[in-house]
Structure 1
Amino acid sequence: MINFDKKVNRLGTYCTQWDYVEDRFGKKGLLPFTISDMDLEFPNEITEVLKERLNHRVLGYSRWKHDDFKDSIRNWYSKRFNCSIDSNWIYYSPSVMYSISKLIEIFSDEGDGVLLNTPAYNAFYEVIGNNNRNIIKSPLTNKNGFYSIDFDDFEKKCKDSKIFILCNPHNPTGRVWSELELIKMVSICKENNVKIISDDIHMDIVYDSKMTPVLNVADNYLESIFICTSASKSFNIPALTGSYVIIPNEEIRTKFENITRYRDFVNSPAILAILGTMTCYNDCEYWLDELLKYIKENLQYTINYIEDNLKPLKLVMPEGCYFAWIDFSELKISSEKFQNLLIDIGEVAIMGGKVYGEESEFYLRLNVACSREKLEDGLNRIKKTIDYIAKNI
């Protein structure tokens, strides 16, 4: 058994979530549940591989174009998702968001529409806007905490879009799109000649639902679909950097390589990232399976705590991702006021839903990828805030 209850002190490690919480929340010393990384130690196998490489004492330029790297990814997709990938489709990238930005550049011109299901990961808004493309929103429908695609609206919005950015599993709501939903998305995009860029970075963080990569239902639209992902979320190694993109279209692979290798010069990988990815996919599946059990228990604990102590807040068990997407709309308080009280009274930092879109203003995104002790502390701080509101507002 892996001890995920072990307390890890991340202060003083130049950690975004802990050391720089004041940057986003304006106050030092808050207990953070913010950035999507984990307060949990990564697998010991990664430690051993990195130690061995560092003990070699030479960190020269490296390569990613070899069978060891590609086969680790290809085999992971085969055993985890029953998805067959040609090794030639795999291409290294420094980050998922870099890949998305470059694919937006390849597939569209300034002023063109890029479609999102909202609420949406906040970086999507930024990458579209800073590429001078037009953000087109197709809001998800929310029925008692369960989100789904409004396909009538989706089809209408596709007519004004060049690209659809799919998020699977969906951040922040935690939906894991079904095969039928993905088939319908692909069909509508094909009818409107809309390219699909799928951010699958949370692909391994799935509980009782089946994760289906959109490639599995691509059919004859395969060469218009592109997956951007990484081992970083699943195994908590984002600081190693590095990701990969799956590009079935040979012409687009060539364009992507020309940009990354000959224009932006980001094609030479960090060797520790390459080693980390291969080790995760080759040797650490057992660790991921235990992690999923632990996070699911944290989510269920959070649901029970809210029902017992934090009414009228509501939480529905997500199908994927490690976020508790908490609805506080019945608290009858503005999102700004609630956030300020969480900071000042509860001394806790939680991402406000408005970051992900106006339609999610009355939500919190609580990261539960942490020890149970930290989670209990955070929930108690929310309760302290709710109790203060009940007495004073």
Structure 2
Amino acid sequence: MDFNEIKDRRGTYCTQWDYIKDRFGKENLLPFTISDMDLESPEEIISALMERINHRIFGYSRWNHDDFKKAVNYWYKKRFNFDIDVDWLVYSPSVIYSVSRFIELKSQKGDGVLVNTPAYDGFFKVIEANERKIVSSPLVLKDGRYEIDFEDFEEKCKNAKIFLFCSPHNPTGRVWSAQELKKIIALCKKYNLFIISDEIHMDIVYDAHHTPILDIDDEYKENIVLCTSASKTFNIPALVGSYLFIPGEKDREDFLKILKNRDALSSPPILSIIATITAYNKCEYWVDELVKYTRKNIEYVVSYLKTHIPQLKCALPDGSYFAWIDFSGLNISSEEFQKYLIDIGKVAIMPGLTYGEEGRYFLRLNVGCSIKKVKDGLERLRKTVEYIKKI
């Protein structure tokens, strides 16, 4: 495995590279955008997929079998010391599909869905598409670290039916402590909020420890679903597939009725199932090396900004392969900065405004790539800032 290797993704129908114009209005920009990686998946996954492809028959498949369930259970025991109940485990085509279905199941049109902002932009879209109201509880930034304002959080709980949680948090990279999770559950229990926990970034963690929310409180677990996938960790989102833990028996039945009967989505892509089984059974070593690599990439970003662009600030996150960069020191709007990044730097970096008003003066830089690409992007960022300073 060589994370320094640069693989040309252009011409592969790749969202990040081939369709950059759709979001940024121009071609030929260096992209640090959507949350996938420019890194090859583990060799064990590739070999398993090739073996299945060489079988040359691709009929309908199943997810509800011991090989899939045991692989997921093994991963949770090994990585999080959490022994799941495999009866809770259910397949889903994507985390956002699961989120959407549980918003539908656990609230009515017009009800509030509470989120911590800034937030993954897919949360805003799925809440609005289900005709629910977004209830925002902004995170508080203290010394480069985001915290939940529990006083505000409790107040906002009064106006919501669901808490849509992101753990670890996208885009800020916070990994929530067990103590914070206990407070969240206690408040949701007090105000009778159902918790949907998106834990798709669970494996990319640095000095913190990720705790699955279902490992906290047995008494409230039937009012929680945990949604996740191997897709972010092993860079396999195009294979399409996720899973969720649904402790409540009726909730499982209701979800499966929608998945199977209404939406006809219960037959999974076989390559996704094989990739997940292989990843969890054979590729832990690869994740350990990946985490070391992305950490070094973010540390390089932090150091580079301090030395060469001191107007911009970035702290090492608890987890995720995102550098969350504060550009408020430039005294420029997000819209203006994006224009200069595109026209002068020829670089595409996700504007923090994408994740809500609280992200207005931030950039989300995806460092799930070679260090050479990170260095190139930072030089383009520096060129842009130097141009801004002259005008």
Specify the TM-score bucket, using the shorter chain as the normaliser. over 0.9
Question: Which residue in 2 is equivalent to 1:200?
Answer: 199
Question: Which residue in 2 is equivalent to 1:357?
Answer: 356
State the superposition RMSD in angstroms: 0.6
Q: How many residues align?
A: 391
1:107 aligns with 2:116: no
SS of residue in 1 equivalent to 2:276? helix
* 1:10-21 → structure 2 map (5 Å cutoff): 10-21=9-20
1:274 aligns with 2:273: yes
Question: Which residue in 1 is equivalent to 2:150?
Answer: 151
Deviation of 1:219 (Å): 2.5
Question: Which residue in 1 is equivalent to 2:233?
Answer: 234
1:185-226 alpha-carbon deviations (Å, 9 max, x no partner): 000000111010000000001011000011111220010010
> Hey, what's the Cα distance between the residues in 2 that align with 1:278 and 1:112?
38
* 1:57-96 → structure 2 map (5 Å cutoff): 57-96=56-95
> Hey, what's the Cα distance between the residues in 1 that align with 2:26 and 2:357?
24
Question: Which residue in 1 is equivalent to 2:29?
Answer: 30
> Hey, what's the Cα distance between the residues in 1 that align with 2:43 and 2:34?
23
* 1:102-181 → structure 2 map (5 Å cutoff): 102-181=101-180
Question: Which residue in 2 is equivalent to 1:321?
Answer: 320
The one-letter amino acid of 1:180's match is Q
1:291-341 alpha-carbon deviations (Å, 9 max, x no partner): 000000001011010001112100010001100000000111111111100
Question: Which residue in 2 is equivalent to 1:347?
Answer: 346
Question: Which residue in 1 is equivalent to 2:372?
Answer: 373
Question: Which residue in 1 is equivalent to 2:288?
Answer: 289
SS of residue in 2 equivalent to 1:294? helix
Q: Structure 1-normalised TM-score?
A: 0.99
> Hey, what's the Cα distance between the residues in 2 that align with 1:358 and 1:27?
25
SS of residue in 2 equivalent to 1:102? helix
SS of residue in 1 equivalent to 2:137? strand
SS of residue in 1 equivalent to 2:296? helix
The one-letter amino acid of 2:319's match is G
Q: Structure 2-normalised TM-score?
A: 0.99
SS of residue in 1 equivalent to 2:207? coil
> Hey, what's the Cα distance between the residues in 2 that align with 1:10 and 1:144?
38
Deviation of 1:79 (Å): 1.1
> Hey, what's the Cα distance between the residues in 1 that align with 2:158 and 2:216?
22
The one-letter amino acid of 1:12's match is G
Question: Which residue in 2 is equivalent to 1:8?
Answer: 7
Deviation of 1:144 (Å): 2.5
Question: Which residue in 1 is equivalent to 2:51?
Answer: 52
> Hey, what's the Cα distance between the residues in 2 that align with 1:84 and 1:166?
22
Are the equivalent residues in 2 in contact too, given 1:218–1:225 (CA < 8 A)? no
Percent identity over paired residues? 59
SS of residue in 2 equivalent to 1:125? helix
1:97-138 alpha-carbon deviations (Å, 9 max, x no partner): 000000100000100110000000000000000000011000
The one-letter amino acid of 2:65's match is H
Question: Which residue in 1 is equivalent to 2:213?
Answer: 214
> Hey, what's the Cα distance between the residues in 1 that align with 2:283 and 2:217?
29
> Hey, what's the Cα distance between the residues in 2 that align with 1:369 and 1:333?
27
> Hey, what's the Cα distance between the residues in 2 that align with 1:144 and 1:350?
24
Are the equivalent residues in 2 in contact too, given 1:95–1:243 (CA < 8 A)? yes
Are the equivalent residues in 2 in contact too, given 1:174–1:319 (CA < 8 A)? yes
> Hey, what's the Cα distance between the residues in 2 that align with 1:334 and 1:367?
21
Question: Which residue in 2 is equivalent to 1:43?
Answer: 42
The one-letter amino acid of 1:30's match is L
SS of residue in 1 equivalent to 2:220? helix
